[in-house]
Structure 1
């Protein structure tokens, strides 16, 4: 999505404005699909942050779902 601008979407991810993001289930998504997402995030140059609870940590090398 090269035309998606963070400035246009960032409020949807602001916990103070929107609350926490809900847990979601992506029907039919496989471990291979999630690995593709992880790989895309790593290679895209996008800014990202991965948290487990309140702890900021590295994005897992492999999808485990």
Structure 2
């Protein structure tokens, strides 16, 4: 989506306005893509919860983690 503009979607990511982000499945995402997401979550100061099934667990340290 090269024409997607942050100004048009930023409210969807405002935790105070929208609550927590929904669960998502990203078809075709690479280990590098997930590494970038994990790094962003760790450095952002955002609160987060990572689940595998119904079990709350630590955020994977590597995007290549088989739990992803």
Length-normalised TM-score, structure 1: 0.50
The CA deviation at 1:8 is 14
Per-residue CA deviation, residues 31-57 of structure 1 (Å, 9 max, x unaligned), is: 111100010011100010001111111
Structure 2 residue runs without a partner (length 5+): 61-67
Query: 1:10 is matched with which residue?
Result: 10
Structure 1 residues 3, 42: CA separation in 2 closer, same or farther (over 3 Å shift)?
Answer: farther
Length-normalised TM-score, structure 2: 0.48
RMSD: 6.2
Query: Between Structure 1 and Structure 2, how many residues are aligned?
Result: 61
Structure 1 residues 18, 42: CA separation in 2 closer, same or farther (over 3 Å shift)?
Answer: closer
Q: Which runs of 4+ in 1 moved over 4 A?
A: 1-25
Structure 1 residue runs without a partner (length 5+): none
